[in-house]
Amino acid sequence: MRYNNYNKILKNIDEPIAFVLGSYPTTGLGVIRCLGRQGVPVVWFSSNPNQIGFLSKYCMGVACPHPKHSEKDYIDFLAAAGETLSCKGVLFPIGDIEVTAILKHRKKLERYFHIPMADLDVVELLLNKKKFSQTLEKEEIPHPLTFLPKDDAELKSISNNIRYPCIIKPVHSEEFRFTFKTKSFKVKSSQELSQRYSKAVSKNQEVMIQEIVPGDARHMHGFNAYYDKTGTPNGIFMYRRIREWPHDFGNGCLIESVVVPELEEIIDLFIKKIGYHGIVDAEFKKDPRDGKFKLIEINARCWMQVGLPARCGVNIPYIAYMDAVGKNVEKATYNQKHVKWFYMCEDILSSLKSMLKDDFSFREWVDSFRGEKEYAIFARDDPLPCLVFYTHRPIFLLQQFFQQYQRGEKKKP
């Protein structure tokens, strides 16, 4: 439920409150359910006053200033809430903009909140994709071939030598997404590369040029954990994608739990090298050319499918919360393979597009749902957000699908 006069309520809660910060509904719902089911009091601060997550029984929803458009007001808002607490709360940002804002003002906010992640100079090595790529190169960790052109001459040289299609990828993901409403530009020729690159630069976006590792969604894998201040991973989870939306560079809409020890070895080495601690959401793609897992990115926060590891016995937000407040938590054990996480609306669109291309059949689509599942929005013990969400979302997503389909048809020769 959304609350306007919430300060008195906060003051009367005598245990550490978890504050979820951000506006992504699937991520936020996953986090509040992971924490709320363990009896943790949860408050969700979102700049979207109509956030469907506010309908969850596991949180108190509060509308707040936008951290990008009104950073000072946002930080002042958090500090004002912190002043009413009877004991320190714990902050859980679910977007990169929220991560950056709270870490920039860490000294002010730590008077009222625990912030279970490394300082900004370390986290910046993950948030800033240029620094991230340079660090991967320095540590000789396999990753997609990446170029950082300094001028038009370098851009021309790159455009004549890179394999197409390739992508133009932002150094600062959230800024790029706000500007262009997409995660990256996919380009198919040197002419298109030059045009798209100029478009990004004209909007003051710092970008990179990166090869596309071959393979469909099933080549994408993920590694999740919470690393404490000693560099020890508490709670380890791995998954692979089955489908994604949008195709090529979207988010996993059907994923399943797997065990791939190689992923842990790569991340463990990297995390210790940079001195990071906090939540880790790492994405890999297995390259069919050499069989190596190429590290794509690491998010220093919770992610969309955070409910899946909890379903498998590894509740990463709760582990982070307990560590932040100085309490022990029973060591999480993970050995459940092929448990699935499912985002129905986006999976229908992804599958419909694949079936139209004859990539698989309707029967294969139905068969892919067999087995134990965790849902992005639906929860038997918390049904109201799902009921409201699915009365509005399908129409919007179908519009998106037909717009993408029409764009694809127009691009055909």
Q: Which pair of tokens denotes residue 244?
A: 């994604």
- Average pLDDT of the segment spanning 88-103: 97
**C-alpha span between 384 and 54 (Å, rounded):** 10
**C-alpha span between 343 and 245 (Å, rounded):** 10
Per the listing, tokens 């419909």 go with 352
Binned at pLDDT 50, 70 and 90, residue 397 comes out as low
**Three-class secondary structure of residue 114 per DSSP:** strand
| pLDDT over 70 (residue 154) | yes
Look up residue 53 and give its DSSP letter.
G
Q: Which pair of tokens denotes residue 329?
A: 């938590």
| pLDDT over 60 (residue 338) | yes
Look up residue 44 and give its DSSP letter.
E
- pLDDT of res. 331: 77
Q: Helix, strand, coil shares of the chain as percentages rounded to 5? A: 40, 20, 35
- Average pLDDT of the segment spanning 349-376: 93
Domains identified in the chain and CATH numbers: 7-115 (3.40.50.720), 145-211 (3.30.1490.20), 217-408 (3.30.470.20)
Binned at pLDDT 50, 70 and 90, residue 409 comes out as very low
- pLDDT of res. 6: 83
pLDDT digits (tens, 9 = 90+) for 270-298: 999 999 999 999 999 999 999 999 999 99
Burial annotation 309-339 (CB, 10 A radius, 16+ → b, else e): bbbbebbbbbbbbbbbbeeebeebebebeeb
Output the CA torsion sign for 241, 304, 183, 153.
negative
Give the C-alpha distances (Å, rounded to integers) separating 166 from 23, 153, 159, 186. 30, 19, 10, 6
pLDDT digits (tens, 9 = 90+) for 228-239: 999 999 999 999
pLDDT digits (tens, 9 = 90+) for 62-83: 999 999 999 999 999 999 999 9
% pLDDT > 70, the chain: 94
Nearest to 241 by CA among 280, 211, 285: 285
Q: How many other CB atoms are found less than 10 A from the CB of residue 55?
A: 19
**Any alpha helices (H) in 88-151, and if so which ranges?**
96-104, 106-109, 120-127, 129-138
- pLDDT of res. 412: 47
| pLDDT over 70 (residue 377) | yes
Higher-confidence position of 12 and 125 = 125
% pLDDT > 90, the chain: 83
- Strand-pairing partners, residue 244, are 252
| pLDDT over 80 (residue 394) | no
Nearest to 213 by CA among 285, 159, 146, 284: 285
User: Where are the strands (E) in 94-213, listed by range?
Assistant: 113-114, 146-147, 166-170, 185-187, 207-211
Strands across the sheet containing 60-63: 60-63, 42-46, 18-21, 89-93, 113-114
